[in-house]
A = this chain, B = another copy of it.
Amino acid sequence: MEQRRAIRIPKFRRRAEARPDEVLDAALDLFIEKGFAATRVEDIARRAGLSKGAVYLYFPSKEAILEGLVRRAIVPIATQALSSAENYEGDPRLVITMVLKMLAAKLNDPRLLAIPKLIVREVPGFPELAAMYRREVLDKVMPVIEKLIRNGIDQGYLRPVDPHLTIRSIVGPVMLHVAMAEIFGITPPDGFAIDRLIDNHLTILFDGLSAPDGAKRWTSS
């Protein structure tokens, strides 16, 4: 009930406006580094240059910070990819190439990669986060790609494949490349090499792994 303090260094009082974002930035770093559960609110505060109590001026709970993090990340992503590819009429391989390169660029930015990583880790505890991300991001982006494939098939650019499943064949290799690097530190001998990965992958994706003249037509059975 009493409160004694030594010489106080008043630190630096900043505008309240910027604070929530600073808290989110700090939290993102720490959640990625140690996970949600292992991160103390005080750590977040300290990294954001605030006191523990101040964090609670901006977020009512630790969980709200996590939610705020995902919410903040969602807004800009959702609006982008759509515009470019939506109703492209020409060779879809061009757009697919662009999409993959754009994806690679995003995954190369640690701050952007952090959000999906976070969601992947924390789904079991906060399924609503995954639902939100799915709703706001995946459910908007995936249909665009699917339509792109469908159009490509209809216009004779692509072979008749299942458009929905083919999304995995297009994007999966890039994702796995990133995941292996992130989770197990497995990279090609020359580093992350995402560009080489994409080149190699596009080659296979569009023309297949089989040698051109090679043996008889391949049939999985």
Residues of A that sit less than 8 Å from B by CB: 1-2, 16-17, 32-35, 37-38, 58, 91, 93, 97, 119-125, 130-131, 133-134, 138, 142, 156-159, 161-162, 164-166, 168-177, 179-180, 183-186, 188-189, 193, 196-212, 214-215, 217-218, 220-221
Contacts and interface: CB of A to CB of B under 8 A. Distances in A.
A131 B183 CA distance: 9
Interface of A is mostly: helix
23 contacts: A1-B17, A2-B17, A93-B210, A93-B218, A120-B179, A134-B184, A156-B211, A158-B209, A158-B210, A158-B214, A159-B210, A165-B193, A166-B209, A169-B201, A171-B176, A172-B174, A172-B176, A175-B176, A175-B179, A202-B218, A206-B218, A206-B220, A207-B218
Contact of A208 (B97, B125, B164, B207): B207
A73 to B, nearest CB: 15
How many copies of this kind of chain does the complex include?
Answer: 4
Given A124-B34, A172-B172, A185-B134, A159 B212 contact: yes
B169 A214 contact: no
Nearest to A164: B188
A159 B207 contact: yes
Given A168-B201, A220-B203, A38 B37 contact: yes
State the 8 A-B residue pairs at the shortest beta-carbon distance, nearest first. A208-B208, A37-B37, A172-B176, A172-B172, A172-B173, A202-B220, A207-B208, A168-B173
A193 B165 CA distance: 9
A183 B204 CA distance: 27
A184 B170 CA distance: 18
Contacts of A201: 165, 168-169
B35 A124 contact: yes
A197 B130 CA distance: 23
